[in-house]
A and B are shown apart, each in its own frame.
Chain A
Amino acid sequence: MNAPDRYERFVVPEGTKKVAYERDTKIVNAASFTIEREDHTIGNILRMQLHRDPNVLFAGYKLPHPLQYKIIIRIHTASQSSPTQAYAQAIDDLDRELDHLKKSFEEEKISTDNQSLVLAAQEIKNKTFLRSSKKAVPNEATTFVLFFKEDF
């Protein structure tokens, strides 16, 4: 009856920013990013990517409460960088990693498809060879293979 709408888990409410940036008032080069309607999926990959940046002294994320659909990422960097710079860099790097992943996945699919096609052709060839060696009469299967080979 009074259950909240399910879409509240992933639709950013109107008037709310997706990402809010808040600088730490006590420490230089430290800041928190509050990301609305995101969870461990984004939080954890960003944190791990930030750890790869040597300018990042600290990076962590938290999901404050399971019913508050937001995460807070905290970044502390060395003086030659800034939290916003590290944050943007991490997103760019992950984005390019995913581009690479997609490309290699597509290439791998093409080579797997070709491989299975060659295997299938080989199998038909072997079968018909056995059969036609017994009876020297071309049967339906051999004609099919001849056609198939030309096509291939």
Chain B
Amino acid sequence: MEGVSYQRFPKIKIREMKDDYMKFELRETDASMANALRRVMIAEVPTIAIDLVEIEANSSVLNDEFIAHRLGLIPLVSDDAMGMRFSRDCDACDGDGQCEYCSVEFHLNVRCDSDQTLDVTSNDLRSTEPRVIPVDVAARSLASESGGFDSPDQRGIIIVKLRRGQELRLRAIARKGIGKDHAKWSPAATVTFMYEPEIHINEELMETLTLDEKTTWIESSPTKVFDIDPNTYQVRVVDPEAYTYDEEVIKKAEAMGKPGLVEIYAKEDSFIFTVESTGAIKSYQMVINAIEILKQKLDAVRLQDTEEADIGELTQHLGRGL
């Protein structure tokens, strides 16, 4: 309105990036932003999961709802989820889930005719949309294409086991959803962030310690944060991020009669994120989608009738002035 802005310009550094795991640094913003991103990744980034199951025949040992629940928990490749519609706001269908914009149909038809127990797995699910298939099936077909190893223990996610004469026949509809609705739609296995620690050793005080004292002090930390330089016998910080804010080393220093031996602060504008995905969405895409969703959420909470509100404020001012 008058051109002022209190905007921040956060910085990002990716440390490690795999399809289902990522570690990155987020700097120059505050905990509210870091936490909003974490919360959105867990509960509001959409994925696709089986939601409706119509059982035609089930003579297995598990009851119908048990199987329906297990089907729901199978992660499906959800790269298209951002562009899909929620079936509750889909105009193209009446919510029975038989439309291309909001749902994907699966079929499962297995019968055991041998004396050996038959495993019904995610491999047996037949999808009507080749882009939406169980995550483990997609990963295996990718591995075999590139000539990877086809290990025998990669059999897919077991849904139920059948003995001779038992069968399972069903139709399932997968829909877009969010983790807030049901955890099966959450793309996140874990999303955590920690404050980056800043460790200052009081070198002068440290030198008053004998080598044995130094070693016992170092060993008081439950995680390996410090060690001793083999040449100079000085205590050094090897891995500041291993520090879990347990304050054990500070208590130990006090107990040894050396308070202030080490000072540890949490940098309040610097965060280290760890993102693990279920495989439904690649970890990198999960973060990008979270940013996008958070933007959409902010747009939705904009005050629509600004004029009306401003006039209200203005008349109040005038009323006071008169």
CA distance A94 to B11 in the complex (A): 15
List CB contacts (< 8 Å) of A4-45 with chain B. 6-7, 9-11, 17-19, 21, 23, 28-29, 33, 35, 38, 40-42, 44-45
Known contacts A9-B180, A11-B88, A106-B288; A93 and B313 CB within 8 A of each other? no
On whether the beta carbons of B7 and A84 are closer than 8 Å, the reply is no
Which of A28, A96, A97, A108 has the largest number of chain B CB atoms within 10 A? A97
Beyond A47-B32, A109-B14, whether A84 also contacts B297 by CB under 8 A is no
- Interface bin, chain A: 35 or more
Q: Contacts A28-B320, A109-B14, A109-B284 known; A18 to B301 CB distance under 8 Å?
A: yes
Tell me which residues across on chain B come within 8 A of A46, comparing CB atoms. Answer: 301
The minimal Cβ–Cβ distance linking A92 to chain B, given in whole angstroms, is 8
Chain B interface size band reads 35 or more
Q: A11-B88, A84-B309 are in contact. Are A97 and B10 (CB under 8 A)?
A: yes
Q: Is B181 in contact with A84, judged by CB distance below 8 angstroms?
A: no
Contact A33 B29, beta carbon cutoff 8 Å: no
Q: Please measure, in the bound complex, the distance between the C-alpha atom of A6 and the C-alpha atom of B32, giving whole angstroms.
A: 26
Say which one of B34-42, B163-171, B219-227, B237-245 lies at the interface with A. Answer: B34-42
Number of A-B contacts (CB under 8 A): 133
B287 near A105: Cβ-Cβ < 8 Å: yes
Q: A28-B317, A88-B302, A109-B14 are in contact. Are A98 and B294 (CB under 8 A)?
A: yes
CB <8 Å contact, B32 and A44: yes
The answer on a CB contact under 8 Å between A41 and B1 is no
In the complex, the 7 A-B pairs of residues with the closest C-beta atoms, listed nearest first: A48-B32, A52-B6, A93-B7, A44-B32, A112-B14, A45-B32, A41-B39
